[in-house]
Structure 1
């Protein structure tokens, strides 16, 4: 309630402003009576103080100190009952009140201070009751909008109309939760808004206000709970004066109703997503045996069998080795939640799933591999900018039906493992069929050395120079598919020299080099020799 309402009240007829008239828009929340000279330490903001000035009649200069203190404290006004102990307000006090825009009100003789206090309290209580009644009606109105199925968008439009301000609904990642977003210029200043959101998330659930220097506009952020761990924000674009209790109450009722609506929507979406994810994981695990069953179940989730797919498996690169399993999982869940929202805003068709600490992106491959690689690179850039965290991806080959996705998943997982073995981070690894050397690298070095030594144990007893010459001839001989002439040509030696060396090798090994099993063993051992010498 404002001071001006006190002056216009019939029950307080006779009160008039004698100074500081420009301050009559100050808010009045409480009323108090001055019955002692040491009132200053007990003053409260938005307080209307009434007095007979008995303690000031012989010390008028103290009135100036009282006025200054009340103005500094943010009090509403000072009511003085003149013609009792103080004939009139001193000119110096009037001048000071005018300079401070602090109202001094002359109280009528016909009303006692008790009457003034009682009437003022009644007006304050009536004003609050009216505001609460209006808030209750607004809450019912907003609730009916949701219950009637008109949706969050209708509620947002109604709120904007009531408070005469643009309103926007976003989640904690500043992704739109309504269609009002196209007019919101704050997304140009995304970093500033995110900084304010971090403040409100880490401090208290109370709303905050801020202004952007670029646009010269003021914004108000009101937190809205979407789930136990997820929070959204109602952003009001424009000024909302603190004294406008009705608008603030209206916004609070809107946030309450929006919170319940979003909680319900989030619970339904989470349930549907879990069902979808469970189907996909059971499919990967081979739970469904019949192809027709797989195809029919997949159709329920908009997964068509006669479609080309690319499977991508992603995993967050763990930066802190001291994180516990729970901490790593929570970090991955938070990143995957954001990632899912990001990819659903792309123009390509992609299905998103999670499996423990992995995310699985199933792209409908209509445009080749290049566009999807660009999307993955964009995701990696977003992860670095938002979470200061990197993520790596393994990419499968294109497959031509949904029933082949299990194969594509294993290709993508193997690609991710290949990149991880090389100790890389923030990579995108496409699937490639492994050659013999890549397979041999998976075997411990000790086992490689043991196999090689066993295969060529007969050569250990001859001189090193002769051993190297024989092994080189044997290697070329095996690589040329046991062709004597081609071996001699590559080694720049006579044909008979090759024949002599090969016979010598067979003698040392005690094996026939025309035997396929023997040649396979020797060629594998020679490949191992390259790895051991690398």
Structure 2
């Protein structure tokens, strides 16, 4: 309850504010009577003090000191029964109260101090009770909407009508989940500013800030969805700390929205699991017939008469704790991006199936570049992608998946990061796949037979260096740069390879043989297998 509310209590008729009217919005949380001159040492913020001013009747200067001290402590107001001992409040005291915007209230003789305390406390309790009742009713209304399964938008609409301002719900990446009707213009500057200028760590409490471009003020309230995942309820303007009813209404809305979002997340996670299981079985050829595959694919909006391009993506540096969060983010981003794409995960990989009419690698690369930029901005991680050639039906996607994996592995062998590698060696790999696995293994062992004399750790290091060296057309400096090692280290390793192989690495036939052997190695041990 604030000072203005106190003046409107019927039982307190006769009280009036004589100075500091601009402070009528001061919140009164409790009331106290002055029974000693040193009372100021025991006062707390938002308390209203009432007194007969007996201790100040002969020293008005001390009354001014009391008002100054109460203002400094954040007290709500001072009520004086002036007609009892003081007679009249000195003008200097009134001027000070006006300057400090500190309300000074004159109490009538007809009410005792005890009655004023009792009536004020009763008014405070009654107001809180009304607010709690309204908040409970609001919670029931919000919960009814959530239980009907109508989504978050109707909840925001109800809240907007209650607090008389637009509101919207944002996910943890500040993308709009839902907003009340007609709120788009109200949040235009907010959406243009987030998340680039927002703290990377989500705030644990409400946060109020202004956007420089148009000086609009917004307040964000965190919505806890699950561990390490938080959304936000955004409203226009600043929440007045003394407006408890508005705060309670927002709190109830946040609670219900949190429940609704957790429910949506659970449903989405279940659907994602079913979709991934289907795709994994499809890649493994676990279905009994093509007809069964086509029918099951149709359940996930995957038409067999549709052309697709398969993209395999991987977080650079391997698995990490936040992989699921990153892949969920990509899935949501793809769902709101141009073009029709289907998202799957398989171990440390994410797989994108783009529906296309004609193969346009530049458009797909542009979409993947945007994903890379957002993942870098939000998570501080880089990602790499491999792109397949066009598959003319869903049944051909299995081959397209292998092409995407080969492209991804090709970039990885070159020690690149944040790369997008298009599958360009379809003819070579297709030919290699026609050769029996045993023959491929024999070719690989023959090509690198000299490497069998050294330990596994050294062998892997030398093979990696040799692979990058050949991919960079035998450039020592570029190999050193990609491997993040000193130039002399590269020179030493390449000399060691020449010694073990007994061949000139720059010889065209030798170069081709080694590149084919490394390609066979990738084919025998693909990513994600």
TM over 0.5: yes
1:97 aligns with 2:92: no
Q: Distance in 1 between matches of 2:257 and 2:514?
A: 66
CA, structure 1 residues 376+289, in 2 after alignment: closer, same or farther (shift >3 Å)? same
1:125 aligns with 2:125: yes
Aligned to 1:187: 191
Shift of 1:420: 0.6
CA RMSD of aligned residues (A): 2.8
**What does 1:287-326 align with in structure 2 at a 5 Å threshold?**
287-318=286-317
Aligned to 2:87: 87
Q: Deviations over 1:51-97 (max 9, x none)?
A: 22233334322211110111222221101223434333222212211
Shift of 1:363: 1.1
Q: Deviations over 1:402-453 (max 9, x none)?
A: 22222211111111111111111111112213759x999x9589825589xx
Contact 2:156/2:179, CA 8 A, preserved across alignment? no
1:382 aligns with 2:374: yes
**What does 1:85-484 align with in structure 2 at a 5 Å threshold?**
85-178=85-178, 182-183=184-185, 184-185=187-188, 186-191=190-195, 194-195=198-199, 198=200, 201=202, 203-204=203-204, 206-318=205-317, 328-370=319-361, 371-431=363-423, 432-433=425-426, 435=428, 443=444, 447-449=448-450
1:528 aligns with 2:510: yes
Q: Distance in 2 between matches of 1:125 and 1:170?
A: 35
Q: Distance in 2 between matches of 1:433 and 1:73?
A: 78
Aligned to 2:496: none
Contact 1:77/1:102, CA 8 A, preserved across alignment? yes
Unaligned runs of 5+ in 1: 319-324, 452-524
Q: SS at 1:93's partner residue?
A: helix
CA, structure 1 residues 210+63, in 2 after alignment: closer, same or farther (shift >3 Å)? same
Aligned residues: 447
Shift of 1:400: 1.8
Contact 1:329/1:357, CA 8 A, preserved across alignment? no
Shift of 1:32: 1.2
Shift of 1:215: 1.3
Shift of 1:112: 2.1
Shift of 1:532: 8.1
Deviation >6 Å, runs of 4+ = 529-533
Aligned to 1:522: none
* TM-score normalized with structure 1 length: 0.77
Shift of 1:302: 0.9
Q: SS at 2:194's partner residue?
A: helix
* TM-score normalized with structure 2 length: 0.78
Q: Max radius of gyration: which structure?
A: 1
Contact 2:19/2:103, CA 8 A, preserved across alignment? yes
Q: Distance in 1 between matches of 2:242 and 2:158?
A: 22
Q: Deviations over 1:350-391 (max 9, x none)?
A: 110011211000111213133212211222222233333211
Shift of 1:127: 0.7
Unaligned runs of 5+ in 2: 433-439, 453-506, 516-529
Aligned to 1:502: none
Aligned to 1:55: 55
Q: SS at 2:255's partner residue?
A: helix
Shift of 1:150: 3.5
Aligned to 2:437: none
Contact 2:173/2:378, CA 8 A, preserved across alignment? no
